[in-house]
C-alpha cells in the first residue's frame, strides 16, 4: 500500500526502534521506576501503530502477522496465570510472591529483586501490547473508511 | 494549589466544548485536551505511574479516533437533540450530584492522605511494610502485582475477553473484505 510521504517514512524508520526500546525499558524497570506492564505494553503497541500509519497496513502485517500477534497475546495471558498457579504450588496461596519469600530475595533497588513481579510485568506487557495491536489491526482490516494508509487529507 | 484549579477549569471547558460542538474533529481534539489535562493533574499530584498510563492510552485512543473521523464523508453533526434523551440525562446527573454531596463530605481534604482521617486504612500498611514484604522499590507495582494481584488478573481477563469479542464480531465481515480486496 502507499503509505505517507518519504519524510514521514524516513523519520518513523529511525524513531520506531527508540519507541520499542523505551517500551521494553518501561516494562523491565516497572518494579523500580514509574510505569509497568500496562504502560509499557501500550508503548510497544504504539510503535507498531506508527509503522502502520507511515508505511501502510501490509508492511506492519509483514513485521508482526495477525496469527503471531494472537499467539503473543495467548502466551502473555498463559504466563500470568502460570505465575499465579506457581504461587499456589510453592507458596501455598494463589498469587503468593514465592520467589521473593523463599528462593530469590534479591536486594531492593536492584534489577533482580521483588521476586515474581518483573516476570508478571513482562507477561502483562506482552499481553497488552499484542492485544492492542490486534484491536487496531482488526479495525483497519474491517472498516473501509478506516484505512491506515494514504495521505491524511483523505484524497485517495 | 492554584495550578489544580486552572487545570480543572481547563478540563471542564474542554469537556463542555467536546459535547456542544458540531464539528467531529474538534470534538475529538477536545476529548484529547481533557485526557492530557487530567494526566497533568496526576503528575502534579505526584502519581507518575497513573500519569504515564493516562498519557500513553490517550495518545493511542486519539490516533484511532482521528483516523476514524478524518476519512468520513460527514464530519459535522446535523439535526437537533432528542428532547427525551436530554431530560433523562439531566435527571441522572441531578441524582448523581445529590448522592455525590454525601460522599464528598466524608472524603478527606484535597491533597491529604486517607489515613489522616482513617488510621486503620490499608494504604498505611502498604506504605510502611510494602518494601519489606514484597521487595519492590515502586510501591505502586507492589500493590498492583503482589497485594492486589487479583485485580490485575481481572483486568487481564477483561482485555482478553474484549479481544475475543472484537475479533469474533469483526471476523465475518473481515473475511468478506479479504476475499474481495480493494477495487
Q: Each residue of B92-124: b (16+ CB within 10 Å) or e?
A: eeeeeeeeeeeeeeeeeeeeeeebeeeeeeeee
Coil/strand/helix, residue A62: helix
Task: Using CB atoms, pick whichever of B67, B72, B166 lies closest to residue A135.
Answer: B166
Q: Which chain B residue has the Cα nearest residue A30? A: B141
Q: Please tell me whether residues B132 and B179 are part of one structural domain.
A: no
Lowest mean pLDDT among A24-38, B125-139, B148-162: B125-139
Q: Between A32, A49, A138, which is nearest B138 by CB?
A: A32
Residues B9 and B71 in one domain: yes
Instruction: Give domain status of residue B81, yes or no.
Output: no
Residues from chain B contacting residue A145 (CB–CB below 8 Å):
68, 71-72
If asked whether residues B154 and B131 sit together in one domain, one would say: no
Query: What's the confidence (pLDDT) of residue A143?
Result: 61
pLDDT in tens, B79-96: 666 788 889 989 999 999
Task: Based on the fold, state whether residues B10 and B64 are members of the same structural domain.
Answer: yes
DSSP B79: S
Q: How confident is the model at residue A37 (pLDDT cuts 50, 70, 90)?
A: confident
Residue B85: inside a domain: no
Instruction: Give tens-digit pLDDT for B133-182.
Output: 777 788 888 888 888 888 888 888 898 888 888 877 776 666 666 666 55
What's the confidence (pLDDT) of residue B178? 63
What pLDDT does B46 receive? 84
Both B152 and B124 in one domain: the answer is: no
Range 58-77 of A in CB contact (< 8 A) with B: 70, 73, 76-77
Q: Does B84 map to a domain?
A: no
Angle between helices B48-70 and A117-142 (to 10 degrees): 10
Same domain, B6 and B62: yes
Task: Please spell the DSSP secondary structure of A89-153, one letter per residue.
Answer: HHHSSTT--HIIIII--B-TTSSSBSTTHHHHHHHHHHHHHHHHHHHHHHHHHH-TT--S-S-TT
Total number of domains in chain B? 3
Clarify whether residues B59 and B113 are in a common domain. no
Q: Which domain holds residue B17?
A: 1-75
Whether A153 has a pLDDT exceeding 50, the answer reads no
Same domain, B16 and B53: yes
- Is A81 in contact with B60 (Cβ distance < 8 A)? no
- Which residue is associated with the grid cell 465475518? B172
Residues B13 and B67 in one domain: yes
- Judge: B135–A113 Cβ closer than 8 Å, yes or no: yes
Residues B62 and B6 both lie in one domain: yes
What's the CA gap between A40 and A23, in Å, rounded? 5
Extract the C-alpha cell encoding B151: 485485580
Amino acid at each position: 500500500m502507499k503509505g505517507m510521504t518519504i519524510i514521514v517514512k524516513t523519520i518513523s524508520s529511525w524513531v520506531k526502534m527508540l519507541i520499542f526500546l523505551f517500551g521494553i525499558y518501561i516494562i523491565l524497570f516497572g518494579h523500580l521506576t514509574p510505569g509497568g506492564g500496562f504502560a509499557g505494553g501500550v508503548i510497544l503497541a504504539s510503535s507498531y501503530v506508527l509503522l502502520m500509519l507511515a508505511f501502510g497496513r501490509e508492511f506492519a502485517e509483514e513485521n508482526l502477522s495477525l496469527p503471531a500477534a494472537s499467539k503473543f497475546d495467548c502466551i502473555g495471558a498463559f504466563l500470568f496465570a502460570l505465575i499465579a498457579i506457581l504461587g499456589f504450588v510453592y507458596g501455598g496461596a494463589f498469587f503468593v510472591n514465592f520467589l521473593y519469600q523463599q528462593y530469590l530475595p534479591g536486594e531492593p533497588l536492584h534489577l533482580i529483586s521483588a521476586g515474581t513481579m518483573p516476570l508478571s510485568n513482562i507477561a502483562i506487557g506482552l499481553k497488552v501490547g499484542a492485544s492492542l495491536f490486534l484491536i487496531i489491526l482488526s479495525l483497519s482490516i474491517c472498516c473501509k473508511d478506516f484505512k491506515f494508509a494514504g495521505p491524511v487529507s483523505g484524497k485517495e | 494549589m492554584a495550578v489544580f484549579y486552572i487545570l480543572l477549569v481547563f478540563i471542564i471547558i474542554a469537556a463542555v466544548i467536546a459535547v456542544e460542538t458540531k464539528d467531529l474533529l474538534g470534538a475529538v481534539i477536545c476529548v484529547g485536551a481533557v485526557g492530557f489535562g487530567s494526566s497533568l493533574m496526576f503528575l502534579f499530584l505526584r502519581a507518575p505511574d497513573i500519569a504515564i498510563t493516562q498519557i500513553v492510552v490517550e495518545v493511542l485512543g486519539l490516533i484511532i479516533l482521528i483516523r476514524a473521523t478524518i476519512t468520513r464523508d460527514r464530519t459535522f453533526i446535523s439535526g437537533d437533540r432528542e428532547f427525551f434523551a436530554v431530560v433523562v440525562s439531566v435527571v441522572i446527573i441531578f441524582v448523581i450530584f445529590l448522592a455525590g454531596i454525601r460522599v464528598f463530605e466524608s472524603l478527606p481534604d484535597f491533597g491529604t492522605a486517607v489515613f489522616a482521617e482513617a488510621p486503620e486504612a490499608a494504604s498505611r500498611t502498604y506504605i510502611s511494610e510494602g518494601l519489606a514484604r514484597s521487595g519492590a522499590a515502586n510501591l505502586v507495582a507492589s500493590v498492583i502485582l503482589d497485594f492486589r494481584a487479583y485485580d490485575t488478573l481481572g483486568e487481564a481477563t477483561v482485555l482478553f475477553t474484549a479481544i475475543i469479542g472484537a475479533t469474533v464480531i469483526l471476523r465475518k465481515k473481515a473475511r468478506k473484505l479479504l476475499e474481495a480486496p480493494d477495487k
